[in-house]
Structure 1
C-alpha cells in the first residue's frame, strides 16, 4: 500500500458527486460540461472534491475529465471507478488495464488512503457486485442469464474472473484499510450500493421500467459490503452512487449515507444542467 498523504489543517469542506457521465451528458446537451461542473465546485469552495465513479466510459476519458475539472476549478479531486470507468474493448485492453490506469492516476483512492486531517482518513475503491442484492428473488443461473441478455457489463467489463471473486478481492483490500486506520474516523467511498434498502425494487413489475429495475438489482452492489462497513463503527461516512436516484445525505445504521448521483439527462427533473449539478452536489464539513 502506498503511503497515505496528510493534507494538514483541521476544518475541511468536502464536496461529493457521483455518476457525472460527462461524456454522455455532454453529447446529449451538445456542449462540453467540464467548465460548468468546475463553476459549481468553485461556488462551494471546497478543499477537495470526491467523485464516486462513472465520470465517463473508459479510463482515458475519465482521466481527461478529471484533469480538466481540476484545472478549471483549482480544487483537487479524488476518484474511484464505476463500472463504466473500466469498460474495455478489444482495442484498449481488458478491465484490469482500465482499473490500473485509474489506480495509477494522482486522483485515485485505490490502495491509497488519504489522510484528510488529524482525525479523518478517506478510504475508497471501485467496489463491485456479487448478485446478493437479487438472490432472494432469483437463482444465480437466472441472474447470469439476465446479465448476458441485458446488462452491458457482460460485454464491456472483462475481468477474467467471476463477479463474486472480484467483489471478494476488493472487500479484502478494504477490510485491511479499515483495520489499518482504526485510530481515525473513516470517510468511505465506492461506486456500488452496500445496503439493500437503497437498491431499487419496483412495486409495479408489470410496468416496462419497473421490470428493468427489478432485473438489474443483482448488479447494483453487494450486501457483503454493507455487512463489512457495519463491523467498523469508525466508518462514519459512506458515499456511493450507481443507481441514478438521489437521496442526498441520510443516516443508516448509525452512518451518514450519501447517495446523490447526477445521472443521465433523460432522468433529470429539469432540463437545466446548472440546476441538476447543484442538486447532485453534497457538502460535507469535517
Structure 2
C-alpha cells in the first residue's frame, strides 16, 4: 500500500495562488491519482472554518481517488462566519465523519494500523520563563495566538491536551499488536519546534505541540509518526520511528507560484506491505 502524508493546506488563505477555474480538491485529487496513492493521511488545517473543511472533505470523497484519514487542526475548529462557541460540539461532528480515526483506528492488512488524534498543546515545549497564566492568555504585548479568539473549549488547554492524549493512548492500546502509523496535528517531538532560547518562540513554542505526548514512543510500536501545524517540511528518524511533517503551509513561504507543484513537493510517501 502506498500512503501519502500531507497537512496544512489552508485552502482559504492560499486561494490567491489558484489559477482561474482551479480548486485545491481537484489539484489534490490529480496529485493522488498521478502518484497512485492508496491512502492519504491528512494531518489537519485544511481551512480556517469547519464548514469549509467539511465541504473540502466531501469533495475529496466524491473524487473517489484515495481513501483519507483526517484529523482536524486548530484552524479546522474555528467558526469565523457563524461565530459558534462550542468547540467540543465541532469536535464531535468531526468524529462522526467517515475519515475520522479517533476511536476508530484504520487497519491496514493484518500487520498495520493508523491511529489518529488532533492533539492539543500543553505548553511543554516553551520556555519556563513564562507562567501558565501568561500562556493561557495567548497574547504578548505585540501579537497573539488566534485560537484565543476562535477556539472555545470551555476548559484550559492542558486539560484538552490531556484528554486527547487519553483518547490517543486508548487507540494505541487497541492496536499495539500491530505496527503503528500515528497521526496528529500538533507536534509531538522537540525536533519540530524552534530551538530555545529565542526571543519570540520562548513564548510561541507553547502552542506548537505537546511534550507530554512524547511518552507514547516508549510504550507502543510506532513505526511512523505524522504531524503538521508548524509549516515545516521535515523528516527524521530516531530509534525505531520515522517522523514526518509535510506541511503545505502559507504560500508566502513556497518555493514556486504553482500550488500543484508545491503539493507534489510537500507530500511524503510511505509504502507498507499488506
What's the TM-score once normalised by structure 1's chain length?
0.87
Cα displacement (A) at 1:114: 0.9
Pairs within 5 Å for 1:79-90: 79-89=70-80
| Equivalent in the alignment of 2:182 | 188
Match of 1:219 in 2: 207
Give the structure 2 partner of residue 72 of structure 1.
Answer: 63
Contact kept, 8 Å, 2:115 with 2:181, in 1: the verdict is yes
1:167-246 matches, cutoff 5 A: 167-201=161-195, 205=199, 211=200, 213-232=201-220, 234-246=221-233
Alpha-carbon separation, structure 2, partners of 1:162 and 1:120: 34
Q: Please give the residue correspondences for 1:40-189 in structure 2 after superposition, counting only pairs within 5 Å.
A: 40-72=31-63, 74-89=65-80, 91-147=83-139, 150-189=144-183
Change (3 A) 1:197 1:219: same
Q: Deviations over 1:57-90 (max 9, x none)?
A: 2222111111212323521211001000111356
Distance 1:197 1:132 in 2: 13
Matched, 1:14 2:3: yes
Alignment coverage as a number of residue pairs: 267
Gap regions ≥5 residues in structure 1: 1-11, 206-210
Deviation per CA, 1:218-245: give whole Å up to 9, x if none: 000111111223322x111100010011
Distance 1:172 1:114 in 2: 18
Partner of 2:259: 273
Further displaced range: 57-66 or 14-23: 57-66
1:27 Cα deviation after fit: 4.0
- 1:202 Cα shift? 6.8
Is the 1:58–1:98 contact (alpha carbons within 8 Å) kept by the matching residues of 2? no
Deviation, 1:93, is 4.3
Query: Following the alignment from structure 1 to structure 2, what is the Cα–Cα distance between the partners of residues 204 and 271?
Result: 31
Q: Which moved more, 1:194-203 or 1:53-62?
A: 194-203
Structure 1's 204 and 99: CA in aligned 2 closer, same or farther, altered over 3 A?
closer
SS in 1 for 2:90: helix
How far off is 1:142 after superposition? 2.8
- SS of residue paired to 2:12: helix
| Alignment correspondent of 1:34 | 25
SS at 1:259 equivalent: strand
Distance 1:91 1:167 in 2: 23
CA distance in structure 2 between the aligned counterparts of 1:204 and 1:235, rounded to whole angstroms:
31
Secondary structure of residue in 1 paired with 2:103:
coil
Q: Match of 2:160, SS?
A: helix
Q: Which runs of 5+ in 2 are unaligned?
A: none
- The answer (yes or no) to whether the contact 1:115–1:122 under 8 Å persists in 2 is yes
C-alpha spacing 1:138/1:253, structure 2 compared with 1 (3 Å): farther
Distance 1:100 1:26 in 2: 28
Give TM-score, length-normalised by structure 2: 0.91
Mean Cα displacement is larger for which, 39-48 or 146-155?
A: 146-155
